[in-house]
Amino acid sequence: MSFSSHVLDSVSGTPAERMRLRLHRLAGEVYEEVASGVTDSDGRLKGWELREGRYRLEFATGEYWQAKGFNTFHPEVTVTFTVDDDAAHYHVPLLVSPFAYTTYRGS
């Protein structure tokens, strides 16, 4: 299974470039980090391979907003999701501002 993410900055209306993401997979009762990366100039991160299981994707929103000179309510955004289809592509987009965010399962 392949994975991608796309982060958009709703303050500027542009891609959220250089946001750090970390991916953790549930192993027993604890989550273990399996990948990390930074969004590209289009706010995208892609190329991670996943297997079935439960994951936590952490977006370092606090670092991102601090670098832009904003205070933020959310120091990070964590999206927990389940991978259950070997043939599917998993896409997790994030629309962010300093005080709000939204996400969904993309395609």
Model confidence at 87, pLDDT cuts 50, 70, 90, reads: confident
Q: How far is it, in rounded angstroms, from Cα 51 to Cα 53? A: 6
Q: What is the pLDDT of residue 86?
A: 79
pLDDT score for 1: 82
State phi, psi for 57 to the nearest 5 degrees: -110, 120
User: What's the pTM?
Assistant: 0.95
Name the residue ranges covered by the structural domains of the chain.
2-103
What are the tens digits of pLDDT across the range 56-81?
999 999 999 999 999 999 999 999 99
CATH of 2-103, one of 3.40.50.300, 3.50.50.60, 1.20.5.440, 2.60.40.180: 2.60.40.180
Element (H, E) at 62: helix 61-67
